[in-house]
Each structure stands twice: as C-alpha cells, then as structure tokens.
Amino acid sequence: MDNNNNNNNNNNGDAMIIGDGQSRQQQQQPPMKRVFTPFQPCRSADCYKKLQTINEGAFGVVYKAYDKETGEIVALKKIKMEREKEGFPLTSVREIKVLMELKHPYLVDVKEMVFSDKSVFMVMEYIDHDLRGLMEAIKKPLMQSEIKTLIHQLLSGVKFLHQNWVIHRDLKTANLLYTNSGELKIADLGLAREYGSPLKPFSEGVVTLWYRAPELLLGTAIYSTPIDIWSVGCIFAEIISREVLLPGSSEIDQLDKIFKMLGTPNETIWPGFSKLPLVKNLNLIPQPYNNLRSKFPHITDLTYDLLERLLTLDPERRITASEALEHPYFTENPPPRDPVLMPHFPTTHKAS
C-alpha cells in the first residue's frame, strides 16, 4: 500500500537519510529545486495538430504534433481514462506533478496540459529517440566516451530526482530519451513517488522486471533511492554490451539470474537478507562467486568497479548517484564526450 510522506517541511537544513532511510550515511538536504508556475487557463487540444503516433503504453498514447499557433513540434501524450471509474488516473497525477514542478536538463520537459471534450493531454518536448529503440537501430556500438556522457547525464538526472525526494521506480532504456543535441532525458514518471524520512511502505510491484532490484524481488515494502541505482547499473551494462543484462522470464527466474551473476546473498554480504519477506520461501543454491567480470572481460578496471558498485546486492552498500558522479571512471581516458559532439541519428519513431 502506498503511503505518501514527502518532506516539503524539511527545508530547514536538517540531515536527510540517504539510501533506504535506515542506517545509511547522512548529508545535508539540498534546497528544493521545484518550479511553481502561476495559474494559467488551460488551452484546448485543438491548438495542436497530430502528425503520427509515436508510442502507446499502459498509461497513455503519445503523438508527434505541432502547435498551430507557433509551429513548434511537440510530443502530445493522451492520458488514458477508460479504465478509471473514480476520476483522473493517479499515476498521471503523479507524473504531471513531478514533471511540472521539477525542471532539469536531463528530465523531459512538460510544457502545459490541454483538454478536449473527453480527453486530457500532456504537452512535452518532442525528442527523436528512445534509448532502447536507438540501440536496436544503430549498427555499431557507442564509443567509450559517448557511453560516459550518457551515464553521467543519467546519474545527474537521477541525483536531481533523489535530492528532491523523488524515486523514479521504472528506470529502463525504453524510458530514456535521446536528443540529436546529444542529451539524454529521463521520461515516463508515471510510477514516480515522493518519499520521506522515516520511510513508509510503498507498492511492491514497481520497476520493469529486468531492471528490478533484488530487495523488491524479495518482497520488501520499505525501499528508497537504491532501487533506482540498481536500474542504472542494469542500464549501464546494457549500453556497454548492447543487450539486456538480466532478462528474466519471471520473478523467480530474475532472482536466479541475479544470484548466478553476482553470487547468492548471505548475512555477511547483505545484513538483514534472511529477514526479507520472501527469502524463507526460496530454496537457494549457494553460489559464492561474482561472475560479473566474466560478462565484461574487455572493460577497464574502473568501468567494472563503477558497474559493480551500482549492482551491489545490499541496498545499504549500493553507491548513491552523488557518489557515482564522483567516481574516477569519469576522469580516466577517454573523458566523456562533449554533448555537442555526440552522434546524430535519423529518427527512430516510425510513422503510423
């Protein structure tokens, strides 16, 4: 059950708890970087002309469109209302709230909300690619310097969300957009939640299976920012290898793949592991070896070290976004590529 407990009242410089909100390191809470725009009348959806369908998911349909008044190309997300019996979808309320209040270069920008007689639309900046589709479309792997730029941008956006008490809860390559200006944008915040200290229970069924942290798979309802960091580690590995790191077919299979890759947890490497809700239901076969390195034999030692820290089994010991941005991986040669020099690609959105 989700309990909303944000920390808008904690702007007095009190120490915030990072990680899962229990015994992790403390640091001073940064000032809130929220944007509260003055009320403006909502325009009609008729101000936009749809050009093509870009994507359709559980929570909405996204169109490429243009503003009839300015000619600006935008992404127009129609919010699905058909399944709602009691008003506006809660997931959409959360996404709109987060994206309208939090502005950052590596978060997709929401411009306004528009309405028609029976539909509600979110107007966002139009971006040519999602990272998953782009990696499937391009023929050659990204250069090391380009991967560093993408991961640095991703961690910067994730750090910003976490500093502002927001967990994304569904980071994956399909939810990351890439502009032809060389910028990565975090999108699809329908599952995002504000969190607080102390932590309260949240929904367990979050994060797409292949990117889901082991503590979620083991049934914890008390979690925080480390679940996003695990997803970043899976994304990092996927960008390097151009294939999904842990493509499980079920929750049990996902856990099996994680433990075969990283070793079976115990109380020594993950204090409290045995007390997680679903551990008693598992017949765990001890596998003491971490096989992550054998999956990536050609990466540098620093690349491997960052990847391993992102994919640490114990969420208390998993690196934070702030710590990851200071990792020496980003200062070893080759350095991250300047975004203006990042490659440009033909759009991967097919007309439909």
| Secondary structure E strands in the chain | 15-17, 26-28, 43-44, 48-56, 60-67, 73-79, 110-115, 120-125, 129-130, 166-167, 176-178, 184-186, 193-194
| 111 φ/ψ angles, rounded to the nearest 5 degrees | -90, -45
Where do we find the tokens 């890439």? 178
**How far apart are the C-alpha atoms of 212 and 342, rounded to whole Å?**
29
Structure tokens at 102: 């939090």
**209 in Cβ contact with 110 (< 8 Å):** no
Of the residues 170, 188, 228, 256, only one is catalytic, namely 170
Q: Residue 100's Cα: distance from chain center in Å?
A: 17
Q: Any catalytic annotation for residue 128?
A: no
Dist CA 174 CA 186 (whole Å): 10
Active site residues: 170
